[in-house]
Every structure is written in structure tokens, then in C-alpha cells.
Amino acid sequence: DVSYNDIRSLPPDSGLSNLRRLQNLFLQNNDISEIHSESFAGLTTLRVLNLSSNKLESLPESLFAGSRDIREIHVQNNSLYELGRGVFQRLEQLLVLDLSMNQLSSNQIDEGTFLGLIRLIILNLSHNSLTRIDARTFKDLFFLQILDLRNNSIGFIEDNAFLPLYNLHTLNIAENRLHHITAHLFNGLFVLSKLTLNNNLIVNIDSQAFKNCSDLKELDLSSNAIQEVPEALHELSFLKTLDLGENQISGFLNQLTGLRLIDNSIGNLTVGMFWDLTGLQVLNLAKNKVQQIERGTFERNTEIEAIRLDANFLSDINGVFTTLASLIWLNLSDNHLVWFDYAFVPSKLKWLDIHGNFIERLGNYYKIQDELHIKTLDASHNRIKELDELSIPNSIEVIFINNNFISLVKANTFLEKTNLARVDIYANELSKLELNALRLYPVPENKSLPEFYLGGNPFNCDCSMDWLPVINNMTSSNMRQYPKVMDLENVMCQMTYSRGTVHIPATEAKPSEFLCKYETHCFALCHCCDFDACDC
């Protein structure tokens, strides 16, 4: 191991040839820019060679002539633009060849480059300057399992170019310049399980393109120019994950367990669109143009567990999700919802995000707070005005209700929420907050008190708010019925009847400053006067 040094060249008399039993040679992260064809002469037992992260521009023709048993060659992250003709030929024991992050063009990668590499398993050609792949380029790579061609400039792949690769299970052609996927492009890839084609220029996929890849389980077609879900996908009966995000799709239909269509142009969802997707478990339709969802759209998707519909234009969800018994995760944030009721969501739902809408009230018409299973609720950045015991499910653990218009929290709002861990109610319009509004069932000693965040409210600290500075001291065993205010130092008080500073931190307010206007009639023995010392 002579890696991470300042070696600049490997002349034939470097002394390496004397190491007859050398098996592993690590030369990575040096400054090697020159290597001689005889540099490794005599290294007949060499198994692993790492020349990565150097400054090599070429590999001489007979560099490995004396190392026929080599198993791994790593020359990634150099400046290679030239390969000596047949430099890898007859390396019949080679398993791994990494040529990534170089400057190799299609003129250097031809039908002779990998000739005789009959045991090669991994070939990495990513991050080069390839523009085309010819039909005979990989003709001897019968045992190849992983082929990485991503981040080149490949605009053309000849039909049947992958035909010899009948053991290939992972193929990455992402970040290239492919426009069309022809019927015979993937011929021979019978065991291919993962195909990555994202960030190309694909506009058309032949209906027979995946006919010979029927075992495919993961397919990434994101960030292309596809306008409709390809008919070719019907051949993929074992497909588990399909990524079609960042395309130009306006309609779709397929049979999957996971479907990601984020950031497209999908409009309203209607009955029948998903009926063939009976095994669908995860659906991502975020950042589309959905305004309406017809009732019954998901009625046959009985296994669906998670739905993303955030960043759309939904204004009504009544009756859309109620029957989805398996749904546990639902994101409806950044829509146009005004009306919300817990009857709109299935009882087994555990995670609900409705932030960034126009909701004025967390409705609970049927008083089902005991039947719900919601543990996490984000209702922040809405227009909610008040909270009471029906506003929040009794199963709740974490609730974000900050940045609303809340001016009233009624007594015992949180009393039944025995699993409560965190409440964010900061940045609202609370001017008064009765202590009973925060009352809890006694919290056991072995359990942490719920954490509340109250800052950013315009509290008017009169005599009804005198509990505020000392609430975090109410922790004795017989008083563990109130939460811990985590941002108490940021809670500001307006001292209406104070002659001094109008706004002060709650933690600095004195008990004597929490005052109310005297409204009781004075007895005759009480002599009121106009002097400061009078205390009537």
C-alpha cells in the first residue's frame, strides 16, 4: 500500500517487478501521470490493482500482459482518454473493472476493449464521454451482473447491444441523451431487476421495449419528456417500484405497489383511474394540478397505506378517504382546503399533514375523538380560531398548530390526551389563556411532561395569567397536571396596568404586576382617594 503519496510515474525499473508474490497493490491518490507497459512485469500473482485518483491519461497496450490472474482493476477518477488496444484482453479471471470518472470516448470503447473478459461481474463506465454503444461492445461479458453507464452523453445504443448480458441484474443508463427506447434495445436481459433511465431526453418507449425484461422490479424513468405512462409497462408483472416523476404526464394507468408521479400535470382524479392498481400501497401525486377527487376514486385500493397529495389545488375531500381502512399516512398540505372534519379520514390513520391550507376549524361533528388513532397532526399555517376538547383526537402525541389565528383555547382541551408529548401553539393570537386550558390528567413520575411552545402570542398578562411565569415549577408529585413550556423565555407579556415597560418577558414579570381592573363596590369604610398610596 503506497497510496496517498506523491508518486508521479511508474517506470519499468521501479522495483515492483521484484515483488513476485504481490497480490494487492494500492497506488490510489498519488500524482501518477505516466505508467510504462513493463511497470507490472513479473507480477504474476497480482489480484487487486488500485490506480484510482491519479492523473493518468492513457494505459499502455501490454500493461497487464504478465498479470493474467488479476481479479480487480480500479482506475476511476483519472484523466484517461486513451486505452492501449487490447489492454484488458485475455484477463479471463477479471471480476471488477472500474473506469468511471475519466474522459473516455466511444472511439476508445469498442468491440475489442472487453474481449475475453468472460468472468467480469462489475463494469463501471459512468462519468465519461461516451456517445454511443455498438452491438458488439459487450459481446463476451456473459457473466456481467452490474453495468453502470450513467452520466455520459450516450444518444444511441444499437439494438441487441445488451443481448449477451443474460446474467445482468442492474443496468444504469441515467443522465445521458437517449430520446427513444426501441423494441429490441433490452433484448436478452431476462434477469434484469433494476433499470435506471432517469435524466435522459426520452419521449417515446416502444410498447415491446420491456418484453424481454419481465423480471424487472425497479424502474426509474423520472426527469425525462414522457407525456403518458408507457404501454410497455404492462409487460412488467413483477414491477414493485416505478418512478415517473418530473415528466410531462397528464394521464396514467398501471399495476404497482408504489407509484410516484410527483411534479407532473395530472388533473382531477376520477372513478376508475386506480381500479386496476389493487396492490397499490404508496401513491405520490404531490405537485400536480389536482383540484377535485371524485368519491370512489380509491375504493378498490384496499391495501393503500400512504398517499401524498400535497401542493395541489384541492378544496374538498369529503368522502374521498373514509373507506381506506389500511391508510395510515396522508399528506394534504399546501392545498386550498377550507372545511375539515375528522369524519373525512379513516379511523386507523396515524399521520396527518394538513398544514398550509385555509382551514378555519378542526371539525368533529360526530364526536369521534375516542375512535381516532392519529398520533401526529400538522395543522399549522391555517386559519383556525379556537380549540376545545373535540378539536384534537385523544390518541394524539404530537400536534403542530402554530401560525394560525387561535384566540381561544377552552378549558380541559388537553385533559383526555394521555399520550401527549408535544404541542406547538406558538405564533397565534392568544391574548388570554386560562390555566385550566392546559390541564392534564396527572402525569406519572416515570413519564416526561408534555412539551408546549407558546411564544409569539400577544398575551395580555392580567391577574388571570399569574400562573405563566411559574408553570414550569408546577412539577411536584401532586401537581404534575400541567405541561412544561419549552420556550417560556420567549413568551412576552403585555402588562396593561403597569406604569413601567409595557411588554416584558413573562419570566421577568413580578406577581404583583399581574393586575385586573377593580370592579367590586367599595364598602363605606373604604376611603378612596386620588393619591398613589391609596389601595381601594
The type of residue at 225 is A
The mean per-residue pLDDT over the stretch 464-486 comes to 84
**Residue 514 burial class via C-beta count within 10 angstroms: exposed 0-12, middle 13-18, buried 19 and up:** buried
pLDDT recorded at residue 234 = 84
Domains (ranges, CATH) in the chain?
337-536 (3.80.10.10)
The answer to whether the beta carbons of residues 418 and 393 sit under 8 Å apart is: no
Residue 322 has pLDDT above 60, yes or no: yes
Residue 180 has pLDDT above 80, yes or no: yes
Q: Which residue has the cell 397536571?
A: 481
| 530: confidence class by pLDDT, cuts 50, 70, 90 | low
Residue-averaged pLDDT of the chain: 91
Query: How far are the Cα atoms of 51, 402, 406, 491 from residue 427, in angstroms, in the given order?
Result: 58, 6, 9, 10
- Provide the whole-model pTM: 0.65
What's the first-to-final CA gap in the chain, in angstroms?
91
The answer to whether the beta carbons of residues 375 and 402 sit under 8 Å apart is: no
The C-alpha atoms of residue 66 and residue 299 are separated, in whole angstroms, by 67
pLDDT recorded at residue 512 = 74
| 251: confidence class by pLDDT, cuts 50, 70, 90 | low
The mean per-residue pLDDT over the stretch 319-345 comes to 97
Least reliable range by pLDDT among 192-201, 223-232, 454-463, 523-532: 523-532
Residue 252 has pLDDT above 90, yes or no: no
| φ/ψ (deg, to 5) at 127 | 55, 50
- Which value, to the nearest 10 degrees, does the dihedral of the CA atoms of residues 474, 479, 485, 490 take? -30
The mean per-residue pLDDT over the stretch 79-94 comes to 94
Shortest CA distance to 169 belongs to which of 233, 236, 217? 217
Residue 521 has pLDDT above 90, yes or no: no
Residue 23 has pLDDT above 90, yes or no: yes
| 201: confidence class by pLDDT, cuts 50, 70, 90 | very high
pLDDT recorded at residue 228 = 86
